[in-house]
Amino acid sequence: MSSPPETQDTESSQNQPYESTSHPMREEDNDDPQVEFCNLARRNLQRPSDHYNPPPRRTHIASRILREPWTTALTQFSKVTNLVLNPYEEYEGPTMADIRNTLRDPLGYVRQREEGATYGHHQMSNPAPMNHPPPALPPIDCSIPQQRVPPLTAEEYNQKYANAPRRVLLERIFQGGIQSNKLRRILWPTILCITEKYSLDWKDLNLVYTYYSNQWKTILPDQEARFTAYRERKSLIDRDVVRCDRTHSFYSESNPGNVEKLRQLLMTYIMYDFDTGYVQGMTDLAAPLLYVWDGDIPKAFWCFVQVMKLCKRNFEMSQLAIKNQLKALIKLVQITDPVFAQHLCSNESANCYFAFRWIICLFKREFMKRKTDDYHDCLIVWETIWSIHSLASLDDEDKQDMFLDQSLSPLLNQIGAIKRQYWSHEADNSDNSSNGIIELPDASTPSECGFPIIIPPPIDHTFSFVPKSGPQRICELKTVDEDVNEANCPENSPKSPVKTLPNAIPIKTTRLKLKTPPKPRPVCASSPRSPSRPSLMSTVLSPPVREMYSHPMPDNEFLFNSISSRSSSDEVKKSPVPVGKEATENRPLDSSDELKAYEFDHLADGSNSSVNKSGKLETLENIELFCLCISLAIIRRERDIILSRKYDSCAILKHFNTLHLNDCLNNILLHSMTIWHWLKHDGGEKSLYNDDEFKPSNTSVDDFDLLNDDDEVDCQNFAALAV
């Protein structure tokens, strides 16, 4: 942040006029006096309808007492309490608000914010008088205080965690993140379940990466012209990588090579998971990974694959998962802060679309340090998210299998099988062993690594394709017939990651003959998923089959089957089992017609609100739930500003869009952990899935659980809830 931490008190910082709220790094935002981001907010300052006080009652108190004696009595009592303890009008002023916020905030949340945070806003120039301080923020009733610790350093890791159990290490990272990129490169494979061990032999994974990457590198220009689905994905990537984080030194103008690497990573990913393809936001997720691996594409790629497994549902065509999360978010706000939920509702923000980018990009843009464009804070957030996912998987016995499947072990087992099979063939054809065979980057000699693979050389699409008249190489991976399909392959491009041995001559196809053609695996994004697929997938990864993979297989067919179904299997494993009508809705709608129909129906009944009154809240994945914890922590941090300035829907969106949170990283994460603990251990999750209808008078037992007897805030909270 360019501006020093503010020393002014809460009241004055809250009094900043909205027009001056933009990030310091975007000076241009404020240079033009004609640009007014949200003057609409001013208009609403005088509008009494936006006031956060509960609306007047409609029924007589006597009838309510008869109907709900307990609720009504408590409500009335709490009103009296509020009058005594929270008379805003009588005790107006910053001092009172400070005391109140401090008292009501068991986490010291507001207090810490006042000390160090700057809100990412300019210093106010013309503070508007605040009519009312915002209602107090109800505390989260978390039974065990959470704590943040400094990021894990290499020394601490060596001393305490090098031989510690996986859970201990994950808990440590959950509480503090990791200090340096060097240590990240050691620990990420563990956090991301690439391996269960601390060290990892990347050779095999590099091999598979090369396998995938050659699939797109060998698509010829004329083939591409007939391959619309591929072309669309490629075009999107090309447009996005050149504008992703270019202010970061790693991707700056002086490092164009890294942008190209990012492009290669994403292109390979679309071959890995063509159905998901490329969706905007993936660049944001991939860029910091490549930075941490310092441009090592295969390693960054596998981390990206694992990250995408965690949040792939957010990128599905139907967008159902993300809408479900937004729906859960407003429900969480409603449970923990009814006053603010009411404000959001009455300002057309109950759809929580302002949190869309947070969830898609895993809060990356909010936690980027704009001045130095440092990924560090964002990575600590991610490490917290990833490790809570792994921890929760460890806790949940039902998810043990899922955890195993998320590691790349099954994939590597397949590689082992291929190696052995190749090796046996090698023995039969040892005279041809080096002909036309391309050595893989990290592979040693074939006899040592045991896995030579014939790969057509990549094509540099920037050069026109000229058929070569010399010895022809067999592009085995493109073979679609039993007979040899020969393709002319140009010389290797300089940026090819694979080296071509000289004197390439035709080789016998009997060695690598494919019974089943490796269909352009990615057939088309619009191909509907076959209903039989899930069952296939579940068998692919079931333990007996997994064992089978460790033995040589009769032919290569399984390689393509298993690899191509791998991504889908994750989806099946990760998705909650759909029931009834949801089963059809949960299935990603691929055909654009279907999608249109879906969207139309969805919009017709749910309109622009993601809170569908009739829609049930789907069970959230742990990682989704923790992302919601962070979202809720951010919302709770900003709610005072929004309430006191009575922002309308536009102003709320603008406020959240221009948020930069790098100065309050630990506060946000601490608060998120508290919310997480409350959700998981103090009944929060139960109340989240309870009572899908938001009925104000329906005060459930869970609402009472939120109350602390001696805290006046809770009474007020309860009052608002019950009115």
Partner 1 sequence: MEDYKYLFKIVLIGNAGVGKTCLVRRFAQGVFPNVQGATIGVDFMIKSLMVNDVKVKLQIWDTAGQERFRSITQSYYRSAHCLILVYDVFSQCSFDSLPQWCRDIDQYAGAAIAGNGRNVLKVLVGNKCDKDREVPLHIAEQFAHNNNFDLFMETSALEAENVEKLFREIAEILVSRNQESNGGTMSRSITSNSFNQSSKPSNCFNCFSN
Residues 55-94 that bind partner 1 (CB under 8 A): 55, 58
Cα separations in angstroms, 412 against 202, 208, 273, 336, 408: 10, 9, 17, 45, 6
196-232 burial, b at 16+ Cβ within 10 Å, e below that, comes to eebebebbbbbbbbbbbbbbbbbbbeeeeeebebbee
- Based on CB atoms, which residue is closest to partner 1, 28 or 222? 28
Report CA Rg, the chain. 29
Burial class of residue 384 (count of CB atoms within 10 Å of its CB; 0-12, 13-18, 19+):
buried
Among 3, 8, 40, 485, binds partner 1 (CB under 8 A): 40
By CB under 8 A, residue 233 contacts partner 1: no
* Shortest Å distance, C-beta 36 to partner 1: 5
Q: Is 405 helix (H, G, I), strand (E, B) or coil?
A: helix
The one segment of 53-61, 401-409, 433-441, 445-453 that binds partner 1 by CB under 8 A: 53-61
Closest CA to 609 of 694, 713, 520, 704: 694
- Based on CB atoms, which residue is closest to partner 1, 424 or 607? 607
- Based on CB atoms, which residue is closest to partner 1, 602 or 671? 602
Considering only residues 572-611, where is the footprint of partner 1 by CB under 8 A?
Answer: 592, 596, 599-600, 602-603, 606-609, 611
Q: Which helix (H) or strand (E) holds 439?
A: strand 438-439
- Based on CB atoms, which residue is closest to partner 1, 515 or 695? 695
Long-range contacts of range 390-397, CB-CB < 8 Å, 24 or more positions apart? Answer: 390/170, 390/191, 390/192, 390/193, 391/167, 391/170, 391/171, 391/174, 392/622, 393/622, 394/166, 394/167, 394/170, 396/622
Among 4, 7, 31, 543, binds partner 1 (CB under 8 A): 31
* Shortest Å distance, C-beta 30 to partner 1: 9
* Shortest Å distance, C-beta 43 to partner 1: 6
Lookup: tokens for 719:
């009052």
CA gap 353, 350 in Å, rounded: 8
Among 182, 197, 243, 519, binds partner 1 (CB under 8 A): 243
- Based on CB atoms, which residue is closest to partner 1, 20 or 112? 20
Q: Are 660 and 122 in contact (CB under 8 A)?
A: no
Considering only residues 126-155, where is the footprint of partner 1 by CB under 8 A?
Answer: none
Cα separations in angstroms, 251 against 213, 282, 288, 369: 21, 16, 10, 15
- Based on CB atoms, which residue is closest to partner 1, 245 or 571? 245
Considering only residues 614-673, where is the footprint of partner 1 by CB under 8 A?
Answer: 649-650, 653-654, 657
- Based on CB atoms, which residue is closest to partner 1, 349 or 569? 349
* Shortest Å distance, C-beta 301 to partner 1: 20
Q: Are 619 and 598 in contact (CB under 8 A)?
A: no
* Shortest Å distance, C-beta 524 to partner 1: 15
Considering only residues 429-458, where is the footprint of partner 1 by CB under 8 A?
Answer: none
- Based on CB atoms, which residue is closest to partner 1, 5 or 55? 55
* Shortest Å distance, C-beta 344 to partner 1: 8
Among 160, 182, 495, 613, binds partner 1 (CB under 8 A): 613
Q: Are 451 and 585 in contact (CB under 8 A)?
A: no
- Based on CB atoms, which residue is closest to partner 1, 341 or 642? 341
Among 140, 200, 236, 507, binds partner 1 (CB under 8 A): 236
Lookup: tokens for 426:
């090698």
Among 92, 156, 224, 348, binds partner 1 (CB under 8 A): 348
* Shortest Å distance, C-beta 47 to partner 1: 11
* Shortest Å distance, C-beta 438 to partner 1: 33
- Based on CB atoms, which residue is closest to partner 1, 485 or 697? 697
The one segment of 33-41, 214-222, 433-441, 639-647 that binds partner 1 by CB under 8 A: 33-41
Considering only residues 193-232, where is the footprint of partner 1 by CB under 8 A?
Answer: 231-232
Among 240, 476, 571, 624, binds partner 1 (CB under 8 A): 240
Neighbours of 147 (CB within 10 A): 11
By CB under 8 A, residue 167 contacts partner 1: no
CA gap 453, 210 in Å, rounded: 10
Considering only residues 349-388, where is the footprint of partner 1 by CB under 8 A?
Answer: 350-351, 353-354, 356-357, 360-361, 365
The one segment of 38-46, 99-107, 532-540, 671-679 that binds partner 1 by CB under 8 A: 38-46
Beta bridge pairs of residue 168:
none
Looking at 645-664, list the stretches that DSSP marks H as alpha helix, in order from N- to C-terminal side: 649-657
Beta bridge pairs of residue 499:
439
* Shortest Å distance, C-beta 572 to partner 1: 20
- 133: CB partners within 8 A, 6+ apart: 11, 88, 92, 96, 97, 100, 644
Lookup: tokens for 427:
């023995």
Q: Which helix (H) or strand (E) holds 550?
A: none
* Shortest Å distance, C-beta 529 to partner 1: 16
- Based on CB atoms, which residue is closest to partner 1, 156 or 691? 691
By CB under 8 A, residue 695 contacts partner 1: yes
- Based on CB atoms, which residue is closest to partner 1, 54 or 177? 54
Closest CA to 657 of 247, 147, 120: 120
Q: Are 527 and 394 in contact (CB under 8 A)?
A: no
- Based on CB atoms, which residue is closest to partner 1, 100 or 602? 602
Site string for partner 1, 519-558 (x = CB under 8 A): ----------------------------------------
- 335: CB partners within 8 A, 6+ apart: 684, 687, 688, 702, 703, 706
Among 43, 499, 519, 681, binds partner 1 (CB under 8 A): 43
Lookup: tokens for 128:
């508007």
Site string for partner 1, 307-346 (x = CB under 8 A): --------x-x-x---x------x---x---x--xx-xxx
* Shortest Å distance, C-beta 37 to partner 1: 6
- Based on CB atoms, which residue is closest to partner 1, 429 or 607? 607
Closest CA to 640 of 2, 7, 13: 13
Query: What DSSP character marks residue 622?
Result: H
- 575: CB partners within 8 A, 6+ apart: 313, 586
**Measured in Å, how far apart are the chain's first and last C-alpha atoms?**
42
Beta bridge pairs of residue 239:
none
How big is the site for partner 1, counted in residues (CB under 8 A)?
76
Considering only residues 262-301, where is the footprint of partner 1 by CB under 8 A?
Answer: 279-281, 283-284
The amino acid present at 41, given as its one-letter code, is A
Q: Between helices 712-722 and 94-104, what is the axis angle to 10°?
A: 90
Looking at 218-319, list the stretches that DSSP marks H as alpha helix, in order from N- to C-terminal side: 221-225, 228-241, 256-272, 282-292, 297-311
* Shortest Å distance, C-beta 471 to partner 1: 38
